[in-house]
Amino acid sequence: MLKGNSDELAAPENVSSGEEKTGIKVMPVEECIVEIVSDAGEGAQKAGQSFGSVSAKMGNGVWTVEIIPAEVQPPARSRAGASGIRIRFGSDKVTNMGDEADLVVAFNEQVLYGRIDQKAYREGTIILIESKWKESKVPEIQEEYALAMQEFKQYGFDVREIRMEEECLKFVENPSKGKNMWVLGMLCSIYARDIEKAEAQIRHTFRRKSKKIIESNLLLLNAGYNWASKNLNLRFQILSEAESVSKVVMNGNEAVGMGVMAAGIEVCSMYPITPATSVTHYLSEVFEKSGGLVHQAEDEIAAIGFAIGASYAGKTAVTVTSGPGMALKTEFIGLATMAEVPLVIVNVQRGGPSTGLPTKVEQGDLLSAIFGQPGDTPTVVLAPATIEECYHFVILSRQLAEAFRMPVIMLTDANLATGVQPFTRPEINLDSFSPPIDQSPWKKEIRPYEWDEKTGLSQRPIPGQSDGMYVLTGLAHDEESHVAYDSHINQLGCNRRSRKMAAIFKTLSPPTVNGDEKGDLLVVGWGSTLGAIEEAVNKARQMGGSVSSLHLRFLSPIEPGLEKIFKRFKKVMTVEINYGDEENDPLITSENRRRSQLSWFLRAHTLTDVDFLAHIHGQPMRPGFILQRLKKELGL
Amino acid sequence: MLKGNSDELAAPENVSSGEEKTGIKVMPVEECIVEIVSDAGEGAQKAGQSFGSVSAKMGNGVWTVEIIPAEVQPPARSRAGASGIRIRFGSDKVTNMGDEADLVVAFNEQVLYGRIDQKAYREGTIILIESKWKESKVPEIQEEYALAMQEFKQYGFDVREIRMEEECLKFVENPSKGKNMWVLGMLCSIYARDIEKAEAQIRHTFRRKSKKIIESNLLLLNAGYNWASKNLNLRFQILSEAESVSKVVMNGNEAVGMGVMAAGIEVCSMYPITPATSVTHYLSEVFEKSGGLVHQAEDEIAAIGFAIGASYAGKTAVTVTSGPGMALKTEFIGLATMAEVPLVIVNVQRGGPSTGLPTKVEQGDLLSAIFGQPGDTPTVVLAPATIEECYHFVILSRQLAEAFRMPVIMLTDANLATGVQPFTRPEINLDSFSPPIDQSPWKKEIRPYEWDEKTGLSQRPIPGQSDGMYVLTGLAHDEESHVAYDSHINQLGCNRRSRKMAAIFKTLSPPTVNGDEKGDLLVVGWGSTLGAIEEAVNKARQMGGSVSSLHLRFLSPIEPGLEKIFKRFKKVMTVEINYGDEENDPLITSENRRRSQLSWFLRAHTLTDVDFLAHIHGQPMRPGFILQRLKKELGL
Amino acid sequence: MFGLQSECMLHVPEQYHTLSDYEGAQPRWCPSCGDHAVLTAVQKVCREKQLPPEKTVFVSGIGCSSRFPHYMRTYGFHGLHGRPFPVAEGIKFRRPDLDVFVATGDGDCCSIGAGHWIHAIRYNMNMTVMLLDNEIYGLTKMQTSPTSRKGTISNTHPHGSILPPINPLVTTLGVANVSFVAQTVDWNPAHVFSTLMAAHAHPGFSFVRILQRCPHFSPNLYSDEISNPDLTVLLTHENGIEAIPEVQKMYKNSVEHDPADINQARELAQREDLVPIGLFYCNPEQEQYDKYGASNIGFSPQQKSDALNVELDKYAV
Amino acid sequence: MFGLQSECMLHVPEQYHTLSDYEGAQPRWCPSCGDHAVLTAVQKVCREKQLPPEKTVFVSGIGCSSRFPHYMRTYGFHGLHGRPFPVAEGIKFRRPDLDVFVATGDGDCCSIGAGHWIHAIRYNMNMTVMLLDNEIYGLTKMQTSPTSRKGTISNTHPHGSILPPINPLVTTLGVANVSFVAQTVDWNPAHVFSTLMAAHAHPGFSFVRILQRCPHFSPNLYSDEISNPDLTVLLTHENGIEAIPEVQKMYKNSVEHDPADINQARELAQREDLVPIGLFYCNPEQEQYDKYGASNIGFSPQQKSDALNVELDKYAV
Ligand SMILES: Cc1ncc(C[n+]2csc(CCOP(=O)(O)OP(=O)(O)O)c2C)c(N)n1
Ligand SMILES: Cc1ncc(C[n+]2csc(CCOP(=O)(O)OP(=O)(O)O)c2C)c(N)n1
Ligand code: SF4
Ligand code: SF4
Ligand SMILES: [Mg+2]
Ligand SMILES: [Mg+2]
């Protein structure tokens, strides 16, 4: 442990529990939500990520999520510019970002307003705020700050004004650069984090930087720690059970990227688009070492065409995109379905329609993934619900794509993309690295689409296989892949492609119900909302509500048994980050009400009057928001 | 009336009814289905179109439809090469192409096989076939022909072998050029058509050709007429009531083209694609004269972008395409919805998925039109059911697009595109030519998206209007059109765009039921199948079946009152040219059955267990095919 | 519903427009982003030419540079990534009275928009195009662009990009019907201004590539050129960009180049040793598609009705 | 499921391939369509080079010309309109052992496919590209193409087209990293053959524009050039297309042109008085993206697993 180059700095002893030397009472808590908010570029995210990692390493459950402004460089000290991170951590597994924060470190008061607008805080939330603005040379700033302090207190926040930069100045010349590490130190003290783990984390984060930078960051870390230990009467303890399984911690886009490698995929073809691009940033860095390459194409159409070409040639391929990019891939997805080319398509959903909300979360691409194609185009659509599943579902997607010779669309979203959570370190299965390629001679008598009558399955020849030559086409074709416009051939081809969906359906088992198998209310969700839904449902159950939940991973084909399950509940409703008309909106009747996507889909599928709770706030679903509705529904 | 330059040619007297001079009995019939089939380029279509026009002018109901091979120049004498035309005509209005033909003129026997494969004929169908193949110098052809004659007789056809070319050779040097006109003459004799009307038609059709060509065609027309009068014991009479209203006759794509002019649209932006292109071929010829222009863009994306630009600038615009082109327009449709740019999109549907069946009919773009967009993208989707409606619905589409400031998708199909039918000459409404442009100063205080809370409607400024300046964007935006990512603003914008759908819904009235208001079975259709469905339903009703039908023109928002209507019938089923799994297919259960598009949509909308009759034969729905199913359902 | 006032040739009130009349929202670019300088130059061009704000439309795609329209107080269309050209063409097609500008980025124009770019050159509609070329994807946070130099380190090529860059000038000069091609640099505002003045005056598709600094992601990209004016070569000619004494004084290297000479234009544009700025090519005689678009506007409802009646007659039974 | 034999370097059985080994389905083009002659020439090239049919892939878009793959007995990919290049690139990327050909039309390549075309030139992957340029849309029945001459009467321009045509050669020569550009004419099969032989031999993106007759829709388009060989100018050079005595005898006009000289190449390609045939430009030294693609193929499952484990370690809690 580095002592710093100043003698003043004495490393604090490791905090265990109970009463500290300083006489401050250590509060044991089950979980905490902490935020760091700042202008863009002030390093709040780096501090928060380190804090999350340290907590994970200490055996806590963790969920971190970035707070990202829309612009590259929004104006300083502005509501819209709020940039930062939220870390929710606790003794048990943490599955979502939760509701209001318990404590927030703010680099100025304006960004805090941005978060207040988002309802990120509650009465009693502790606010640790940089107080240098009080003495700002710009009178407006002084005024703004003073006004804010008044208002914050009125809101009932527990405000602590701290001269952070001044403290940093004691150790470094330019405090604006390292303040985030000082804050990290402060938080480590408040939450009794293992300072050695924090130091190790800093060394890792800055491993590519100069020794001087690392040293100065460590210095500030310890300074913050010491300052807080001496000057703040805040000390919390989050216990954790020591876990025996080894874990990894990453965000959903990194998990997808690693899943691509684990799936044995060789080609990742993409065009940059938020919030999907970071999957490929990650891959661009490391993919080469595992025998794969990222191709940045000239546009999304070329990206999927390239992936289809690679797959046709026997190389496993994925294309990664988001809403507007999906729209452009529409025609090629149809070709892959028609000509039965295996392909994994990852859509990290963002807010729509159109360019919409590039950095924000939504689940609005569900119906377009299933029905977006002209003509009958059976497509597999599946959705991971956790960061861990982001990893494993890529492997699953590839397996389905290969086995059923069709494109598989995997829908994640901006919430999974940037959320960070530890999960059990996956076991590597060497089998999944086998290429699909087989260059042994093709049996001449087998046709390139020799569809099994029952399952629609067929074996595909790959260039290089002698006697396998055929010409793939997106026109209607017979089993030889010859263009054929005859009525019965078109009917046959469509039928065989459709039958594969029934074959996949047969392999699925009904989803498990969280809670009782029957009751008053069943909540159905999909994708990133799993954690928030289950948390809310479990709380409502604790309050005596007769409510259960069910989470779908397969949307197309949809998982079996739903109608039966639905029948056992008095009411079924979905929870979605999607648009739906409110019942009591003007002009809206139950007849013309435009329903949220999953609820609409389930109505057709089960003929059940499925209701919904939906919003398009560009924010993850919060458990409290869901709970509120559950209480209303259940009369709690 | 031209006598021809040969003295041998005496024009036959006009046939009235009853017994002819030649002593042949004239059979009065209510309607007939006639086909002319040939290799591509032999002029069968021109002859058939003329025949249809003459019949329309004689007051008959008419439906003609082209038989088009897939390739530009398929091999001669091949099944796949069958090219030609079907004309169904009768005393009453004719609404569809019907079932099996009563009489067919064939230029060779192989193309007939092509049609037999399509089940175009029945026992007793009269076949008038060119018999020159009997003496072909190629022994295989002789054999093929002889074999065919045998088989045709076995099939129960009434085969008449005719030396057509030999007859033509008596009048012209190269009979292959004018044989079609000789055939037209023959048909005019058989069906007692007014030969003067036929002559006038020929003069019109060939108005841009030399006088010599016109004369020689007239000569052959009369020759065919005379030959048939003397040598065929076939004479039918189709009575018609003299109609007082004036009529026009055209195919659906021409009707769309004329509708574009009638709607006051100024810009038609397109990229060639079958079967939509002929709309724009027609417009390219005449649009300039009515103050409009066709723009052939570099691709479909540019085509819709161009139209959106024109509309933004206050010029009414349409883009015309088919399935693969629609797929490419996906992203821009989202922008037009998000930024509320009025736009008419005509999709002349063809067989899918992917490049599919370019020349064939399907209704497979229904769900992608409604749900094809990432994000929540409320879009108006409507579908004309007759050729007349093809004209009027363009006008309606423009009105809706302008009034509700959004894109309107009009779905027609290859059956309407090439079907020819007379309809009441439309009245021209000068109002519909007014441009949307208004260059008077904008009221400064009105915001560019000043949404009415109830209807979502707002007024739009157009470049040129002073004080109206705003920056359109596809990003989430507030009423000022400023980019805004706040939760409530996104919710508000989506809500206002959605509310417009409720406002349109309020203007619609429930569809009328064809037949009784309640009963055992209700058949629901949309688009080009109207005629066939009603014909089948009416026949089933005559047979005592308790069946009614209902035809949707508005698909999104869908017409009101459906649930109520459905409740009055024991069973509801759709009839669609679409794919759906059959109930008894292997692995298929009612749970995993992939249902045809409309039936699926109606299930979600009405929570009714809607069944379907669907095929994707690339052929129009035939009344007989529907009737067969109705009989089964009704136990007739 | 359609009873509005009809055609678009209304008189614009006579009024002198000041710079601030062209200033829209507060720009949100990074403080030292090169886009700021271009924005200022454009606003000056508008004032110099007294363009009526209500008759002026700025069209863009998506990217940092494509935020441009928001910062003007004119009409604007901030559309889809890669698609500014089709939209701009549609706007201009039947509205000869509008002044159309396009602001696009190197990704927007040369990558996803490449097909439209080629065709926009060929359509040669009267509009002023600014390619804000920062050789990187700014908005999406530093990915390789087609104009990134070989070996560029970016988030999609952390080990260095593979291919030599597209040269937008040479590519444009290779397209049929090309009519105006110039280059300027954001760090010489006077030259940006006079280049855009010339571009706007040209009747046709005026393509101006502007080397634009993105200090946020490529802080040192043009630092050599900025610190050493000898790395720039000024194209001079009486038919070229108007000579500005301060600019001429600054750049010692200059080449007399007749913008009518397309072969020399291509050779100059191809140069890799120096950055040539000025007018490469200009041909006001090329076919203009907007003239075709404007050929039959303003028909009265009666004229339209008459034409339709003629058509209905042809199809009368 | 993935237990198949793995990499793709299997030995191909030694066997002499005759012409008929390359003949696929019976061509369905119009009888005197120019595509027939090209097909025959291509089949001869394959035989001449003894390309293993199972290691050869023909890729196309949609159009009459894009039916090409069906008429070969090799692997084929008859994809989407305008998109042959991305597919061909994906096929070649990780399969250096495959011989890739692209057959495309003037609409497919220069209109809807223009963006991919520009980028395919820049990627410079080793493949042989045949642009079958009939200056019209054949399959969809006679619409204007970007290469249609100004004034062309078509179904979309019944009163004559508006714009001058794109010159695919000049456009290609304007793109960075261009490496091989040639032109030939379908009515001189010997020249088609030797041009394609050279194109195939070139390591990189070999772009061959073939003037192709569409007698069905433009019966007289090239009749002057066909009846009068003096309207053609033959490009000759020791590094050019192999000299064929019969061809040299036929064309009186010839120009000695060094295919290393891109400036002269552009000037020649721009000529409108005569049709130049031969090799305009060739540079085997350009960067090849397929080399990058092939740089790390064939990793064993163990290698992949090891790399993944290193990654998981980095993220270990
Ligand atoms: C269809 C689509 N694909 C991708 C994106 C994501 N995207 C937005 S801007 C951009 C590139 C920006 O680069 P450039 O055009 O050079 O503009 P700059 O930001 O550098 O000014 C990309 C890839 C998008 N918005 N839409
Ligand atoms: C997305 C899409 N748009 C349009 C079409 C219709 N289409 C098919 S081929 C073609 C053009 C063919 O012209 P060209 O490429 O010159 O080939 P040619 O037939 O002349 O050989 C078009 C527009 C299509 N199949 N797909
Ligand atoms: S990221 Fe670069 S291009 Fe974008 S605003 Fe900042 S400096 Fe300008
Ligand atoms: S239409 Fe033209 S290009 Fe097509 S096959 Fe016939 S001749 Fe060839
Ligand atoms: Mg850029
Ligand atoms: Mg062509």
Q: What is the pLDDT of residues B99-117, one digit of tens each?
A: 999 999 999 999 999 999 8
Distance D81 CA to ligand 2 centre (A): 6
Residues contacting B147, CB < 8 A, separation 6+: none
Q: From the CB of C221, is ligand 1 less than 6 Å away?
A: no
Which range (A488-502, B15-29, B241-255) has the least confidence?
B15-29
- C30/A73 Cβ within 8 A: yes
Give yes or no on whether A27-244 and A519-634 have one common fold: no
Residue B3 predicted with pLDDT over 80: no
CA distances to A253, A358, A525, B339, B605 from A349, in Å: 12, 9, 16, 20, 26
CATH, range A249-431 = 3.40.50.970
Enumerate residues with CB within 5 Å of ligand 5 (an ion).
C 105-106, 134
Q: Can you give the length of chain A in residues?
A: 636
Distance CA A319, CA D203 (A): 28
Instruction: Assess whether the previous peptide bond of B557 is cis (omega < 30° from 0).
Output: yes
Q: Which residue of D has its CA nearest to A289?
A: D307
Return the DSSP state at A483. B
pLDDT of residue B122: 96
pTM for the structure as a whole: 0.95
Distance CA D243, CA A271 (A): 44
Band of the pLDDT at B120, cuts 50, 70, 90?
very high
Distance CA C184, CA C222 (A): 13
Residues contacting D269, CB < 8 A, separation 6+: D167, D169, D170, D173, D181, D183, D276, D280
CB A503 within 8 A of CB A457: yes
Residue B51 predicted with pLDDT over 60: yes
pLDDT of residue A436: 76
pLDDT of residue A24: 76
- D159/B75 Cβ within 8 A: no
Nearest to D316 among A246, A435, A483 (CB): A246
In angstroms, what separates the C-alpha of A28 from chain C's closest C-alpha? Answer: 41
How many Cβ atoms are within 10 Å of D223's Cβ, its own excluded? 12
- Atom nearest to C218 CA in ligand 3: 2
Query: The tokens of D72 are what?
Result: 């070969």
Angle between helices B109-117 and B139-154 (to 10 degrees): 40
Looking at every residue in chain B, the average pLDDT score rounds to 93
B494 shares contact with chain C (CB less than 8 Å): no
Tell me phi and psi for residue B621, to 5 degrees. Answer: -65, 130
Intervals of chain C under pLDDT 50: 1-12
pLDDT of residue A129: 97
Chain D partners of C205 at a C-beta cutoff of 8 Å?
A: none
pLDDT tens for residues A14-46? 434 444 455 678 899 999 999 999 998 899 999
The sign of the torsion formed by the CA atoms of B198, B201, B203, B205 equals negative
pLDDT tens for residues A131-174? 999 999 999 999 999 999 999 999 999 999 999 999 999 999 88
Q: Which of C70, C108, C135, C143 to mutate to test the pocket of ligand 1 (most atoms within 8 A of CB)?
A: C108
CB A280 within 8 A of CB A257: yes
pLDDT of residue A204: 86
Distance CA A232, CA A226 (A): 10
The helix/strand count (H/E) of chain D reads as 11, 9
Give the residue whose CA is nearest to atom 7 of ligand 2.
B273
Calculate the CA A84 to chain-centre distance.
16
Virtual CA dihedral for B87, B89, B94, B96, nearest 10 degrees? -20
Share of chain A above pLDDT 70, in %: 96
Distance CA B9, CA B182 (A): 13
Q: From the CB of D215, is ligand 4 less than 6 Å away?
A: yes
Instruction: Assess whether the previous peptide bond of D165 is cis (omega < 30° from 0).
Output: no
Residue given tokens 């007297």 in the structure block: B13
pLDDT tens for residues A313-370? 999 999 999 999 999 999 999 999 999 999 999 999 999 999 999 999 999 999 999 9
B587: left (phi over 0), alpha (psi -120 to 50) or beta: left
Query: The tokens of C216 are what?
Result: 């946020």
pLDDT of residue D15: 83
Distance CA D286, CA C162 (A): 12
B74 shares contact with chain D (CB less than 8 Å): yes
Distance CA B281, CA B288 (A): 12
Distance CA D23, CA D309 (A): 49
What are the residue ranges of helices labelled H in B67-210?
109-117, 139-154, 164-169, 175-190, 195-205
Angle between helices A175-190 and A44-57 (to 10 degrees): 30
Which amino acid, residue A353? P
pLDDT of residue C2: 39
Distance CA A272, CA C155 (A): 10
Query: The tokens of C298 are what?
Result: 């303003």
pLDDT of residue A456: 97
pLDDT of residue A175: 85
Chain A partners of B503 at a C-beta cutoff of 8 Å?
A: 587
Number of alpha carbons in the 13 Å side-chain half-sphere of residue D125: 31
Q: Which of D33, D39, D139 to mutate to test the pocket of ligand 2 (most atoms within 8 A of CB)?
A: D139
For residue C64, list its beta bridge partners: none
Intervals of chain D under pLDDT 50: 1-12
B80: left (phi over 0), alpha (psi -120 to 50) or beta: alpha
Band of the pLDDT at B435, cuts 50, 70, 90?
confident
- A298/C80 Cβ within 8 A: no
Helix (H) or strand (E) holding B277: helix B277-286
The sign of the torsion formed by the CA atoms of B337, B342, B343, B349 equals positive
For residue B357, list its beta bridge partners: B351
pLDDT of residue B5: 38
Secondary structure class of D102 (helix, strand, coil): strand
In chain B, where are the structural domains located?
A: 27-244, 249-431, 440-507, 519-634
In angstroms, what separates the C-alpha of D95 from chain C's closest C-alpha? Answer: 18
pLDDT of residue A71: 67
Tell me phi and psi for residue A631, to 5 degrees. Answer: -60, -45
Band of the pLDDT at A507, cuts 50, 70, 90?
very high
For residue B554, list its beta bridge partners: B382
Residue A11 predicted with pLDDT over 60: no
Which amino acid, residue C178? V
pLDDT of residue A5: 38
Residue given tokens 């397209």 in the structure block: C175
CB D82 within 8 A of CB D61: yes
**ipTM of the predicted structure?**
0.95
Distance CA B349, CA B367 (A): 12
Share of chain B above pLDDT 90, in %: 87
CB A456 within 8 A of CB A431: no
pLDDT of residue C3: 36
Instruction: Assess whether the previous peptide bond of B275 is cis (omega < 30° from 0).
Output: yes
Question: Top-level CATH class of A519-634?
Answer: alpha beta
> What is the DSSP pairing of strand B471-473 with strand C75-78?
parallel
pLDDT of residue B17: 40
CB B184 within 8 A of CB B49: no
Calculate the CA A379 to chain-centre distance.
23
Residue given tokens 């030419």 in the structure block: C49
Helix (H) or strand (E) holding D176: none
pLDDT tens for residues A424-446? 999 999 999 987 777 789 999 99
Nearest to B258 among C8, C95, C308 (CB): C308
CB A234 within 8 A of CB A20: no
Distance CA C233, CA A354 (A): 43
Looking at every residue in chain A, the average pLDDT score rounds to 93
> What is the DSSP pairing of strand D75-78 with strand D56-60?
parallel
Angle between helices C301-314 and B252-262 (to 10 degrees): 160
- B288/D156 Cβ within 8 A: no
Residue B4 predicted with pLDDT over 60: no
- A354/B337 Cβ within 8 A: yes
Q: From the CB of C81, is ligand 1 less than 6 Å away?
A: yes
pLDDT of residue A439: 77
Distance D33 CA to ligand 4 centre (A): 5
Secondary structure class of B238 (helix, strand, coil): strand
Residues contacting D300, CB < 8 A, separation 6+: none
Domain at B27-244, CATH from 3.30.450.20, 3.20.20.70, 3.40.640.10, 3.40.920.10: 3.40.920.10
Q: Which residue of D has its CA nearest to B277?
A: D140
Return the DSSP state at B449. T
Query: The tokens of A261 are what?
Result: 């490698």
Residue given tokens 């130091």 in the structure block: A199
Number of alpha carbons in the 13 Å side-chain half-sphere of residue B155: 22
Distance CA A85, CA A71 (A): 16
D28 shares contact with chain A (CB less than 8 Å): no
* Burial annotation B53-78 (CB, 10 A radius, 16+ → b, else e): bbbbbbbbbbbbbbbbbbbbbbbbbb
Q: Which of B119, B121, B90 is closest to B104 using CA atoms? A: B121
Residue A13 predicted with pLDDT over 50: no
Share of chain B above pLDDT 70, in %: 96
A296 shares contact with chain C (CB less than 8 Å): yes
Secondary structure class of C271 (helix, strand, coil): coil
Which amino acid, residue C26? Q
A635: left (phi over 0), alpha (psi -120 to 50) or beta: left
pLDDT of residue A87: 96
